[in-house]
Chains A and B, each alone.
Chain A
Amino acid sequence: MDLQAVIRVALRALARNKMRTALTMLGIIIGVGAVICTVAIGEGASNQVQEQIRNLGDNIVFVAAGSVSQGGVRMGSAATKTLTVADAKAIQQQIPMIARVSPGVGSRVQVVYGNQNWNTRVSGVGPEFLEIRRWPVANGSAFSDHEVEAAANVCLLGPTVVENLFGSEDPVNQTVRIQNLPFRVIGVLASKGQSPFGQDEDDTILMPFTTVQKKISGIDWLQFVMCSAISPEAINPARQQIAGLLRQRHRLRPNEDDDFIIRSPMDLANAQAQAGKIMTLLLASIASVSLLVGGIGIMNIMLVSVTERTREIGVRMAVGATEEDVQMQFLSEAMVLSLFGGSAGVLFGVGASIGVSSMLQWPTRIPPLAIVIAVLFSAGVGIFFGYYPARKAARLDPIEALRYE
C-alpha cells in the first residue's frame, strides 16, 4: 500500500467517528497548547530579564568608596575619601580584564530653569560612562575628554528632568542653574526607564566628574568607579584583581577591612534569569504531563477501535493485507490523530499566549523551535501510544477476526 492510500484510509476511518476523533484530539490539543503557552510565557519573562540585564550596562563592575569607622561609629558607604582618580586610572591601565572605566561622584542638587526647579541627582562621570551603561544620547551630544579636563560647565539631562523643567521646549543649548552656577545643556539622554530595582533612571543629570568635584561637591576624591569587564566571564576575576589592586594602592594591611565595595549587578540579574528558566522548565514539564495523558487517550481509543473493527481487520487480511499493512494502517491513524491534534494545539497555544499577553500584559515570546518540537513530539506520542494497539491489530488471527461478533 502506498503512503497516499494509507493516509486516505486513516482519514476515512477517523471521519467515521467524528465526535470520538475530536475528543481524542482534544487531549493532544490541550497538551501541546499548554506546553506552547507555558514556554511562551516563560520565554517572554526571561526575555524581559535579559533585556534588563542588557539595560544595566556592559558587564558592569561597580566600585564604590567603602565605609569607615571613626571611633566605633561606622559611616555609610561612599564615606571614605580614599578612592581617587588615580585609582580609576590604575584600574584602567593595570587590569586587562577591564575594558572601560569611568570615575564617578554624585550629589543631590536643586536645578533651576526659568521659573521651574527640580530636585535630582547629578552624577559626575567620565566620557566612557555612557558606553559602559549602554546609554545613548537622544538629542545633542555627549561631553568630551577635553570638557572633562577643563571641568566645563556642561551637562546632559535625563528625560524626566527635561520634562519637569522644560516641558515640550528643546533644552539643548539652554542654560540651567545649579547652586547659582550656569550649566549649558549639551544633550538629552535616551530614556532608560526603570532600573530592575524600580528606580527612575531617567531622573538624573550627567556632568564631567571634574565639574562636579570642583564646582558642586568641592571634593577631590571619588565616590565610585564604574568599570566594564571585557566579557561576562571576566566579571568575577576582574573583581578580585580590582580588590587586590585597590588594597595595595590604599596600603591596607591584611587584617584591615576593604575601604571600598565592589558590586556587579549582573550577578543578581543572572540569578533572577536562572530562576526564571527553572520555573519555565518546571511549568513546561507539568504541561507535558497533559500531553502524555492525551497520548494515553489516543491509545485507549485505538484499542477500542481495534476491537470494534476486528472483523474489518479479518477481511483486510483475508484479501491480502499483511501484518505490516494492518499495523501501518492503525499506526497511521494514531499519527494522523496526534499530528492533527498537535497542529491544532500549536494554534491553540499561540492564540492563548497572545490572549495572555494582551489581557494580563505579560510579555510572551514563542520560540519557533518550540513549535517544531511540539509538533514532532506529538507525532512521537502518536507513534509511541499507537504502536501497541497497531501491533495488537496486526497480530490478530484472520480466522478468529473474521468470526468475531
Chain B
Amino acid sequence: MPENVLESQPETGVSGGSTTPIIRVENLHKTYDLGEVQVHALRGISLDILPGEFVAIMGASGSGKSTFMNLAGCLDRATRGRYFLEGQDVSTFSKRQLAHIRNRKIGFVFQGFNLLPRTSAVENVELPLIYGGVAHEERVARAREALRIVGLAGREDHHPSQLSGGQQQRVAIARALINNPSLVLADEPTGNLDSRTSVEIMEIFQRLSKERNLTILLVTHEPDIARYANRVVLFRDGKVRRDEPVEDRADAADVLKTLPVIDEDEEEES
C-alpha cells in the first residue's frame, strides 16, 4: 500500500537525526470486539515523533485519531503492534505500570478542560504530583510555578467556576506540565473556545514547544488550528493517510497582535 511507504519514513517533519524518538509506533492495530461485530479502529499505524515536535493529528470522526491518542496516552493497549515511549516498549505494560507512565511522562489537555469542580486552580494543578508521591510544600510550589508559566499568576485560589473557558484550559495545561512530561497530548483543546482564546492557547503551546522543546500531540479538526503545528498527520479509516510538515506555519504571537483585544478579566468577573 502506498501509504505504508510514506509512513515508514521517520524523518518527516523537523530534523531529528539520531535522537531517540519520543514516540515510535510500529504497525499498531486496535480492534474493538463488540460481540458479533469487530471494529477495526486502527489498521497498522507506524509513526515516529521526535523530541520537540508539535504534531497536529487530523481526521474525520471514526478515522482512528482518538483511538491513536488513547494508545499514545497509555490509557489503552493496542491489540497488535508495538509502542515505544522514549525508547521503552510500553505495549506490554500492566495497568499499574501504564498509570505510572501517565503520571511521569504524559500530560493531558482535554476539550472539556476536565478540571475538578469546587477545587482551586492550585489543587487541580498539583493533582498528578499527589499520585507521584510528592510532598505537599513542593506540590504547591511547583503548581504555582506552572500556573505562572501559563499566565495565571494571582489566580491560584480561584475555582473553575470563577474562571473563563480560556483560563480553565490554561489551568489544564499547567496540570499537564506539572510533572515535566516528555509528551503533552491535547485532544481538541480549542474545541470549546472562541477564536481569540483558541489562538492564545496555541500561543502557549508554541511557546512551550520552542522554549522547552516540549513534544506536543494535538488532535484537531480545524485546519486553522493545525497551522500552528509544525507537522500534520492525517488519519483516515484507521491508517495514516498523509504525514507532512506545515509549510506556512502560523505564529500565534503574531496572529494575536492582529486580533481585537478583549479584556478577559473584566468579562469573567462580571
Contacts and interface: CB of A to CB of B under 8 A. Distances in A.
B99 A320 contact: yes
B118 A319 contact: no
Nearest to A4: B136
A398 interface: yes
B127 interface: yes
A316 B95 CA distance: 14
A399 B99 contact: no
A315 B70 contact: no
Contact of A323 (B70, B95, B114, B116): B95
Interface residues of A, number: 23
A319 B108 contact: yes
A398 B99 CA distance: 10
Nearest to B113: A315
A317 interface: yes
Interface string B42-69: 0000000000000000000000000000
A320 B116 contact: no
B70 A399 contact: yes
A402 B116 CA distance: 12
A33 interface: no
B133 A314 contact: no
Nearest to A311: B114
A321 interface: yes
Contact of B103 (A2, A12, A315, A320): A320
B103 A319 contact: yes
Given A311-B114, A323-B95, A318 B130 contact: no
B131 A318 contact: no
A398 B136 CA distance: 26
Given A317-B99, A320-B100, A321-B99, A398 B128 contact: no
A16 B114 contact: no
Nearest to A17: B118
A5 B134 CA distance: 11
A147 interface: no
B205 interface: no
B133 A318 contact: no
| Most chain A C-beta atoms within 10 Å of own C-beta, residue among B96, B114, B132 | B114
A351 B108 CA distance: 53
B175 A319 contact: yes
Contact of A316 (B75, B110, B131, B133): B131
Contact of B75 (A1, A323, A399): A399
Interface in B72-105: 73, 75-76, 95-96, 99-100, 102-104
Contacts of B104: 320
Interface in A1-43: 1-2, 5, 9, 12, 16
Contacts of B127: 315-316, 319
Given A319-B103, A320-B100, A325 B95 contact: no
A93 interface: no
B131 A320 contact: yes
Contacts of A398: 75
Given A1-B131, A311-B114, A318 B95 contact: no
Interface string B116-151: 101100000001101111001000000000000000
Interface in B16-55: none
Interface in A374-405: 398-399, 402
B116 A312 contact: yes
Interface in A289-339: 311-312, 314-325
A193 B162 CA distance: 74
B75 A318 contact: yes
A402 B76 CA distance: 13
B108 A318 contact: yes
B96 A322 contact: yes
Contacts of B108: 318-319
Interface of A: 1-2, 5, 9, 12, 16, 311-312, 314-325, 398-399, 402
Given A315-B127, A320-B104, 5 more contacts: A2-B133, A315-B115, A320-B99, A320-B102, A320-B179
Q: Give 7 closest A-B pairs by Cβ, nearest first.
A: A320-B103, A319-B128, A320-B131, A322-B99, A315-B114, A318-B108, A398-B75
21 contacts: A2-B133, A5-B136, A12-B119, A315-B114, A317-B102, A318-B108, A318-B114, A319-B103, A319-B108, A320-B100, A320-B103, A320-B104, A320-B132, A322-B96, A322-B99, A323-B95, A323-B96, A323-B99, A399-B76, A402-B75, A402-B114
Interface of B: 70, 73, 75-76, 95-96, 99-100, 102-104, 108, 110, 114-116, 118-119, 127-128, 130-133, 136, 175, 179
